[in-house]
Amino acid sequence: MSSQAETLKNNGLKVTLPRLKVLEMFEKTPGQHFSAEEVYTRLIESGNDIGIATIYRILMQFADAGLLRKSNFDGDKAWFELEDGEHHDHLLCVDCGKVVEFLNPSIEQQQRTVAKQHGFELLEHNMVLYGLCGACRKTPMA
Amino acid sequence: MSSQAETLKNNGLKVTLPRLKVLEMFEKTPGQHFSAEEVYTRLIESGNDIGIATIYRILMQFADAGLLRKSNFDGDKAWFELEDGEHHDHLLCVDCGKVVEFLNPSIEQQQRTVAKQHGFELLEHNMVLYGLCGACRKTPMA
DNA sequence: TTTGATGCAAATGTTTTGCATTGCA
DNA sequence: TGCAATGCAAAACATTTGCATCAAA
């Protein structure tokens, strides 16, 4: 049995071809983010016969199972990435779309403090920093 | 001329009835957030004749002009609030939807540091903390 | 075999757009 | 008057869902 099949089983998901293909795609490209549409296009182009609805269902299941992480970079469409077990936030270049993952313990600490100050129990958070990456700062858009 | 008319003019926007009504609605309820649909419903219920498309156009213009601030609490619809000139982030109760605004200089500082470490010029950021407010912690959902 | 997964198409919810009409300056 | 703003309806877009079919256990 493939390692992907093992992963699915361990997460209580029945092993099916579409699920294997989606998981495989993410594991082939560690550290990258994809929208549902992108996952769909890639699989279709790889010769797989799969529907966009199935992609959405699988991505949601994987996110629920903790295999994938779902991010919403503002009002835009949702992006998915492999969950590496380690929480992190995102730094996004508004020019080229480059995404950098980071983890800042000091910020995480302060977030808990802020929540506490307002009587909240912090469950999770979403933080995206928008800026210009080194390359795009040197070559501004025409 | 009304103060709302002044505000519109000062921001390079022609003074029209729909714009006045939208601005007035926000200024009447400081510190509150509304979706486009909510703004629409409120104005209709106040006896105004206005289209949803106009609401969207006006909200976008106001956000561009810096009069309003647009927030996307995850993949959900967009929310708008009066821009008070002071940047702040949001703390949201996942149960009752209560929104608390906060500003934490230490986090803001760390964000700049993180961006710098990765060679980015920080332009802006989006941060939403999700949790349970005091009231909802005491009376968990059935 | 039997239940759950899939694919398709249609429905949904939010937001945007084309276009004829209206209304500020 | 003239051009921008509006209202309506339709389009666009991401996402979800109903349902008949298919496939994994």
Identity of the residue in B72, B117, B122 whose CB atom sits nearest the CB atom of A75: B72
- Euclidean distance between CA atoms A27 and B32, whole angstroms: 43
The answer to whether the Cβ–Cβ distance between A120 and B134 falls below 8 Å is yes
pLDDT, average across residues A57-86: 90
| pTM, full prediction | 0.87
* Burial status of residue B105 (CB atoms within 10 A of its CB: 0-12, 13-18, 19 or more): exposed
**What pLDDT is attached to residue A1?**
67
**What pLDDT is attached to residue A30?**
86
The model's pLDDT over A83-124, given as tens digits with 9 standing for 90+, comes to 987 889 999 998 888 889 999 999 999 999 999 999 999 999
- Which of A35-44, A59-68, B103-112, B133-142 comes out lowest in average pLDDT? B133-142
More confident residue, B71 or A21: A21
A110 is written with which tokens?
Answer: 């302060």
In order of their start, the domains of chain A are 3-82 (1.10.10.10), 89-137 (3.30.1490.190)
**What pLDDT is attached to residue B21?**
97
Q: Is B105 on the interface with A (CB under 8 A)?
A: no
Contacts with A115 from chain B: Cβ below 8 Å: 91, 129, 131
- Euclidean distance between CA atoms B128 and A120, whole angstroms: 13
Identity of the residue in B117, B120, B130 whose CB atom sits nearest the CB atom of A124: B130
Q: Is A94 on the interface with B (CB under 8 A)?
A: yes
